[in-house]
Structure formats: structure tokens, C-alpha cells
Amino acid sequence: MTTLFDRRCKLLVGQPPKPDVYTLQTLRRLEISGLRIGFKIIKDTQPQPNSVEISIYNLSKESQAALEEKGARIILVAGYAEQVSQIASADVRIAQSVKLGVDWVTKIEAGDGDRAFRFARVQDSWAPGTPVSAVINKAVGAMMLDPGNAFARAKEISAQFTSGYVQNAKASTELTTLLEPHGMTWSIQDGRIEILRPNESLPEEAPLISPTTGLIGSPEMGTPAKPGARGVLKVRTLLQPRIRPGQRFQLQSQSRSGVFVAQKVTHAGDTFGNDWFTDIEAIST
């Protein structure tokens, strides 16, 4: 817990390079730090883009213009002096500055992979006998995001189109349509496509959440939404930038312990305020 002090936050703003994959290493046109930055980021395992809302106080005219430029993309980095991580990346939908008292506040609304989700399209015809995996790969490629585990998961599908197949739709819609019959769902996490089966977790290290690593209060187990469904565990901790949907974590508390899989993650912070939390909704493994 001694490392969870000295809040740090910065925003990288720029236009994406070609190909259309952006990371901390490639998006460095402008860096905003040292100002008051507030944020709320909501991530889940659904295809719709994760929501990113950011407020920045008293930006320069140059920084405002960069955020308002068509095609602007952002990466938000947050954490602590000894543990800073990328917490969100997104396409800017709206960026506008308003006067609040003596301050100018630039409010940003953005979506993770938003432009790829809304505008990328696929248009192709496939002959009888075409593997479903090939058509999935086409939709993934059209979105021009980091493919993540998409190509590997597509290989797990052995089915073929016996009568051929025609694609003429949004790539995001096609990806949902093609994966659903095979029990898979997909989402965009920090510009990367992730495909999972129900209740599946990512093959990553499970971090520990406990009173000594930032756990706040007592975890709560909600009532299942329907008979036979799993209850949803709700956990609040000091900001944990590396926790994301689909990730396992270890919970140790007086009321409940075990290994759980995050389904929804909300990061909320303010470098000059009280908020600096991560709220997690999770199911047991």
C-alpha cells in the first residue's frame, strides 16, 4: 500500500499513424500533464466502445486545438509515482471548452475504438467451403485495430460456409454475427480486440486485491439477475489501472476471498479532488 501514493496522470493527444494502430510509443504528438485532470472510464466485455470522459482545466489554446482536430485520438496514463499504466485509449467524439468560474474546462467525450466500430465496413463474396475463420479475419482486419487474440480464436472455429457467404455491412456487426453461433463475444480494450467465451478469463497474471493493496470497504455480492445465474461481486479499490474486463484477480478480505473475473471496470479519478478509485463488477471463476 505504501506505493499507492503520489498520484500521476497525463494525456497523450495525436493523430494515429499508419497502419491505424496506436500505442504509447506511436501516439506522442502532444503530452498534457501538470494540470487538473478528472476522468471516468467505463469498460466492459460488450462490443460497444468503452466510454471515456475526461475534464482538463485551463488548457492552452494549442492543446485545445489538438483535441478538437478531426481524427484526434487520446491515451490516458494514470497511477502512482511507482506504478503508472495506460488506463484508456480512445477516439475523440467531442471536445469543447466551457468557462466555470475563473477556470476554462475542456470536456472530452471519447470511445475506445469508436471510429472503427462505427465506420469500418466489409464488402466481399465468399465461395462455398470458405472457412468461417477466414471471414472473421477479414472483419477483424477491416477494423484496423490491434487484433489482440482475434486471429488465434478464429482458428478454433472449424466450420465452413456450405453455400458461400456475402459480406456487406459494418465490420463490427459482422464480427458479432460470425462469433455468436460459436459461443464467443468480443470487445475492444485499449484499441485491442479481445474475444472470449462466456465466463472465460484472459491468460494473464491475477493481481491481488486486499486491504494492503488498496481494497476499500467490504466487497458486496449482489443477487443473480435470473435463476441459475452467478451473483455479481462488487469491489472498490484505490485506482488499479491494470485491471480490465476479462481479467482474473485474487480477492482477500474479511468477508470474502477467492479468485474472480472482472466483467465491468470503472476508473474514476481527479488529480486535484477526492476521486481515485476503481470499481469492479466480477463473477467467481
Q: Can you read off the three cell numbers belonging to residue 234?
A: 462488487
Q: Is residue 203 part of a domain?
A: no
Q: What angle do CA 262, 268, 269 make, to 5 degrees?
A: 140
Amino acid identity, position 244: R
Are 109 and 125 part of one and the same domain?
no
Q: Distance (Å, rounded) from C-alpha 156 to C-alpha 153?
A: 5
Question: Which domain does 140 fall in, by range?
Answer: 120-196
Single pTM value for the model: 0.90
Q: Indicate whether 151 and 217 sit together in one domain.
A: no
Q: Is 146 helix (H, G, I), strand (E, B) or coil?
A: strand
- Residue 78 CB-density burial (10 A; 0-12 exposed, 13-18 middle, 19+ buried): buried
Residue 219 lies in a domain: yes
Looking at the fold, whether 182 and 86 belong to one and the same domain comes out as: no
Q: Do 255 and 171 sit in the same domain of this protein?
A: no
- On the 0-12 / 13-18 / 19+ scale of CB atoms within 10 A, 274 is exposed
Same domain, 124 and 111: no
Distance CA 120, CA 36 (A): 35
CATH number at residue 252: 2.40.30.150
The answer to whether the beta carbons of residues 139 and 174 sit under 8 Å apart is yes
The number of angstroms, rounded, from the C-alpha of 275 to the middle of its chain's C-alpha atoms is 20
Under the banding of pLDDT at 50, 70 and 90, the label for residue 14 is: confident
CATH of the domain at 159: 3.55.50.30
Residue 225: inside a domain: yes
Which of 196, 216, 251 is at the close of a domain? 196
Output the average pLDDT for the chain: 90
**Domain count for the chain:** 3
User: Average pLDDT for residues 232-248, to the nearest whole number?
Assistant: 94
Co-location of 11 and 111 in the same domain: yes
Per-residue pLDDT tens for 73-108? Answer: 999 999 998 788 999 999 999 999 999 899 999 999
Same-domain check for residues 35 and 101: yes
Q: How many CA atoms lie within 13 A of 62 on its CB side?
A: 5
On whether both 96 and 132 belong to a single domain, the answer is no
